[in-house]
Structure 1
Amino acid sequence: MRYQRGELWRHSDFRKLWFGESVSLIGTYATQLVFPLVAVTYLHASPTELGVVSAAQFAPALLLTLVAGHWADRVGHRPMLVGSNLARMATLAAAVALLETGGLRVWSWCVVAFVLGTFTAAFDVAWHSYLPVVVERRHLVEGNAKMQASYSVAQLAGAGLGGWLLKVLSPAAAFLLDIASYAFSVVALLAIRTREPRRAKPPGTDESTSRRLTHGVRLLWRDRVLRALLLEGTWFNLCEQALLTLFMIYAVRFLDLDAGQVGLCVALGSIGAVAGSVVAADLERRWGTARTLVVAIGLASGSPVLVPLANGPQFVAVALIVLSFNLYGLGLTVFNVHNLSQRQARTDPAALGRVTAAFSTIALGALPLGAVVGGLLGDLLGVRLGLTVVAAAFVAGWLLFALTLPRLFDAPSPAPAPAPAAPATVAGEPPP
C-alpha cells in the first residue's frame, strides 16, 4: 500500500493517544521546571544537594525500568499507562500537601522526586511500546515526529507557564496543573478502541523471571546499530543532566534570573525543537538515516558551549542561552525521532516493551549519575567552569559516535516515504 503523508490525521485512535499525551506533557514540563527551582529558591540547595534531588527523580529509570517493561508486555501497555498516570496524580497531591503544610525539606523533596520518577519511568516504557500497537509500522516516523512536535510545543508552553505560576502564585499551582493534565490523559487513553493482541511470552525467553527481564538487554546489545545509538544516548543523557543541574544554579544565582525569566528562556529555547519535529522526516529522506542521526546529535552536542559564555549584560546572557537551547532542541528532536523509529522498526513487536525498557534503563539510567556529577563539579570547580567541562564532554562523545555509526549502515539511498531507512527486522539480526 502506498504511503500518503498525513494519514495519521484521520486515525481516530492515534489522535486520542496524541492529544491526551500532548496535554499531559504541558503539565509535566511545568513540573520539571518548577521542581529544581523549588530546591534552589525555597530550600536554598547547594549544587550537590540539587544534584541529589535530581538524581532521586531519575534513579527509577535505572532501578525499575526493566521490571516496568516486563509488566508492560505481560499485563498490557494501556493498563500500565492509566495506572501510572493515576499514581502520578496522587504523588503530586502529596507534594502540594507538603508545600501547604510547611513540611518541605531536602530529604522529603527527594522522596517525592523518587516516587514521581518511578511512575514516570513506567509510563514512558509503556507509551513508547504502545504506539506501534495503535499505528502501523509504516506510520512510525510520522507518529514519532508528531509526538516530538508535542514534546517541543509542550515544553514551550509548560516551561513558560510553570515559571509564571511559580513567580506569580506558588509551586502548588504548577503541580495542580499537572494533576489536571494527567486526568485528561487518562480519559483519552480509556477512549482508545484499538485492543492489544494477547501475546504468548516473547520469543527467546524461558520461565526464569531474571531471564525474561534481561531478554530485552540481549536483543538490544546484539543489534550493532541499536547498540551504537544506546551508547551515544547514554553519554548524551549523562552530560545533559549535569548541564541542567548546573544551569539552574547558574541562571538563578549568577545571572540573577527569577523563575519567570528562567521559564521564558526555556520556553523560547523550545522553538528549535518544534522546527526539528517538522523537518525530521524530510532530512532522513534527503540525507539517509545515518547522516541525519550524526548531524542532528552533533548540533545538539555542540550547542552547550554557548551556556558558560552567557555572561555580562543580562539581555546578552539570555540571548545566548536561548540560542543554545534552540540549536540543542533542533538537533535533539531530529535525533530522537529517528532513534526511536529505528528501535521500533528493528524489534520484534512481541519483545518491544522489554527492548524499550532495556534502552531506557541504560540510557536514562545515566541521568541520576549526571545530576550528581554536575552537582559535584559545581562545588569543586565552580558553576561556570563546571559548565565548560560538561560542554567539552558533549563534543567528545559526539566525535566517537560520528566515527562509528556510518560504518554500521550500508550507503543509504533516500527513501520515497517517511519510514525508517532500515526495513523492519528482528532485533539481534545484523543491520541490512
Structure 2
Amino acid sequence: MTAPARTSGPVEASPGRLFRHRDFRLLWTGHTVSAVGSNMTAVALPLVAVAVLDATTFQVAVLTAAAWLPWLFAGLPVGAWVDRVRRRPVMIAADLVAAALFASVPAAALLGLLTVGHLLVVALGAGLARVFFETADQVYLPTLLRPEQVPEANARLHATQTASYLVGPGLAGLIAQLVGAVTAVALDALTFLLSALCLRRISAVEARPHRGAGTTSLRREVAAGLRFVVRDPYLRVLTVFGAASNIGLTGYQAVLVVFLVRSAELPAGLVGLLIGLASLGGVVGAALAARLARRLGTARTLLFAGALTGPPALLIPLAGAGARTAWLVLGGMLVSLGVAIGNVVKGSFRQTYTPHRLLGRVTVSMHLLNYGTIPLAALLAGALGAAWGPHGAIRAMTAWLALTPLILLAGPLRRRRDLPTAPS
C-alpha cells in the first residue's frame, strides 16, 4: 500500500530577500539579457530571410523548425549527460557557442555571403546550444536556492522571460526599420556574451554529481527518465498537453511574420511592435502565477491557464490591416497570459516534485515531446501556408490550439486543488 502524496501550494518567498541573493541576481541578469536578444532574433531572422533574402513562406517556416529540431535528435542523451556533470560550465559554453553563431550572420552579410542555408545552419546550431543550456539550467536553479525559494525564483525568471517577448520583438522591429534586421541579430550575439559573463561571476560552488552518475550506460539512464514521466500521471498529462498546445502555438507563429508583412502589408517596425504587444499578457501571467496558485490551488491554476491558452487563440485569425490588428494583440495577450501562468506553475512543480538525481532526464524527456513537436508544427504550418496562404495556415493552427485544454481534463488534475509535492 502506498502512502498518499503530500499536497501544498507554492511557498511564498520574500522577493526582496531573493534579490539580495547575489548569485541569483547574476543568474537572473544573464537570463534577462539573453532572453531579450533571443526574442529579437526570433523576429529578426525571419525578417532577414524575407526582406534581405526574399525567402518563401515555406523557407521561413523551415527556419523556425530548424531552431527546435535538436530537441528531437539530441534532447534525451543531453538530459542524461547533464545529470552526470556540473551544470554551470555547460551553460557558459552554450552561451558562447550561440554568440559565435549569431555573430556569423552579420559577418556573412558584410562579405556578401549570406544565404538562407546559412541562416538554417545558425538556427540549427543555436537550437542545439539551447538544448544544453535549458536542460542544465532547469537542474542548476534548485542547487542555487532553497526549495521554498524555487517557485518565487521561477516566477521572477519567467516574468522577465515573458517581458522579453514584448521588448525583444519590438526592438527587433525598430532596429530592422532603422538600420536593418541583420543588426538586430548582431546585438543578440552580444547578449549571449553578457549572459556567459554573468554566469561566470556566480560564486557558489556546485556540488559534484552523486557517485552513481556515469556508472551505468547512457541508454539506461535515458530509459529511467522516460519511464518516470510515462508512469507518473501528472507529468504524463502535462507533457501531452504541452506537446499538443505547442503544435498550435508554433504553427501560427511560424507564418505570422510572413502574414503581417505580405498579406497585411505592415512595415517591419509595426510587425515587431504588434508581436511584442501580443506577448504582454505573459508578463502579467508570470507576475500573478504564484499568487493564483496559492489562492486557487496549483492544480486548479493549471486548468485555468489551459482555458486561457486555448479558445482565445481563435481571435488571432481575425487580424488584418488597420484597426483589425487589435484582434492579434487581444488574442495574443490572452494566450500568452495562459502560457505564462501554466509554465511557472508547471516548472516549479517539476523541479520540486521530481527526485533531483532524475531531474535532468525528466526535464528533457518532457521537453522531447513538448519541444519535439515544434519543428513538425512549423513544417506543417509552412506546407499549409504554401497551399492555403499564411492566413489559412493561421486559422487551422489556432483552431487546433483552441481544443487542446481538453487534454488536461483527461488526467487527475480535475479532481485536485493542489498538485502533490512528491510521487506517491
Q: TM-score range by the shorter chain?
A: over 0.9
Q: CA deviation at 1:140?
A: 1.4
For 2:388 and 2:12, the matched residues in 1 are separated by 54
For 1:172 and 1:46, the matched residues in 2 are separated by 18
Instruction: Tell me the residue number matched to 2:6.
Output: none
Structure 1 residue ranges, 4+ long, deviating more than 4 angstroms after superposition = none
Instruction: Tell me the residue number matched to 2:298.
Output: 289
Instruction: Tell me the residue number matched to 1:223.
Output: 232
Moved more, 379-388 or 188-197: 379-388
Instruction: Tell me the residue number matched to 2:310.
Output: 301
Partner residue of 2:361 out of 350, 354, 358: 354
Task: Please tell me the residue identity of whatever aligns with 1:62.
Answer: L
Task: Please tell me the residue identity of whatever aligns with 1:392.
Answer: A
Q: TM-score, normalised by structure 2?
A: 0.93
Task: Please tell me the residue identity of whatever aligns with 1:40.
Answer: V
Instruction: Tell me the residue number matched to 1:366.
Output: 373
Task: Please tell me the residue identity of whatever aligns with 1:51.
Answer: A
Instruction: Tell me the residue number matched to 1:71.
Output: 81
Q: CA deviation at 1:403?
A: 4.3
Partner residue of 2:400 out of 393, 397, 401: 393
C-alpha contact (below 8 Å) 2:384/2:390 kept by paired residues: yes
C-alpha contact (below 8 Å) 1:144/1:337 kept by paired residues: yes
Structure 1 residues 95-174: aligned runs within 5 Å: 95-174=105-184
Q: CA deviation at 1:385?
A: 2.2
| C-alpha distance after superposition, 1:5-26 (max 9, x if no partner) | 3231222211111111111111
C-alpha contact (below 8 Å) 1:206/1:212 kept by paired residues: no
Instruction: Tell me the residue number matched to 1:422.
Output: 420
Structure 1 residues 47-58: aligned runs within 5 Å: 47-58=57-68
For 2:309 and 2:196, the matched residues in 1 are separated by 33
Task: Please tell me the residue identity of whatever aligns with 1:134.
Answer: L
C-alpha contact (below 8 Å) 1:202/1:351 kept by paired residues: no
Structure 1 residues 225-240: aligned runs within 5 Å: 225-240=234-249
Instruction: Tell me the residue number matched to 1:327.
Output: 334
Moved more, 77-86 or 134-143: 134-143
Instruction: Tell me the residue number matched to 2:8.
Output: none
Structure 1 residues 335-350: aligned runs within 5 Å: 335-350=342-357
Q: CA deviation at 1:332?
A: 0.6
Task: Please tell me the residue identity of whatever aligns with 1:343.
Answer: R
Moved more, 255-264 or 297-306: 297-306
| C-alpha distance after superposition, 1:337-391 (max 9, x if no partner) | 0111111111111221111121112211111001001011112223222221111
Instruction: Tell me the residue number matched to 2:5.
Output: none
Task: Please tell me the residue identity of whatever aligns with 1:212.
Answer: E
Task: Please tell me the residue identity of whatever aligns with 1:373.
Answer: L
Task: Please tell me the residue identity of whatever aligns with 1:318.
Answer: T
Instruction: Tell me the residue number matched to 1:15.
Output: 25
Task: Please tell me the residue identity of whatever aligns with 1:247.
Answer: L
Task: Please tell me the residue identity of whatever aligns with 1:241.
Answer: T
Q: CA deviation at 1:247?
A: 1.2
| C-alpha distance after superposition, 1:5-57 (max 9, x if no partner) | 32312222111111111111111111111112222222222222222221111
Q: TM-score, normalised by structure 1?
A: 0.91
Count the aligned residue pairs.
Answer: 413
C-alpha contact (below 8 Å) 2:159/2:282 kept by paired residues: yes
User: Unpaired segments of 5 or more residues in structure 1?
Assistant: 413-420
C-alpha contact (below 8 Å) 1:47/1:246 kept by paired residues: yes
For 2:411 and 2:228, the matched residues in 1 are separated by 20
User: Cα RMSD between the aligned structures?
Assistant: 1.8
Instruction: Tell me the residue number matched to 1:415.
Output: none
Task: Please tell me the residue identity of whatever aligns with 1:236.
Answer: S
Q: CA deviation at 1:411?
A: 4.0
1:307 counterpart SS class: helix
1:422 counterpart SS class: coil
Q: CA deviation at 1:209?
A: 2.0
Q: What is the percent sequence identity of the aligned residues?
A: 33
1:128 counterpart SS class: helix
For 1:304 and 1:97, the matched residues in 2 are separated by 39
Structure 1 residues 248-259: aligned runs within 5 Å: 248-259=257-268
Instruction: Tell me the residue number matched to 2:4.
Output: none
For 2:13 and 2:386, the matched residues in 1 are separated by 54
Instruction: Tell me the residue number matched to 1:418.
Output: none
Distance 1:50 1:3, change over 3 A: closer
Q: CA deviation at 1:238?
A: 1.5
Q: CA deviation at 1:88?
A: 0.7
C-alpha contact (below 8 Å) 1:73/1:350 kept by paired residues: yes
2:318 counterpart SS class: coil
User: Unpaired segments of 5 or more residues in structure 2?
Assistant: 1-10
For 1:411 and 1:19, the matched residues in 2 are separated by 34
Distance 1:383 1:353, change over 3 A: same
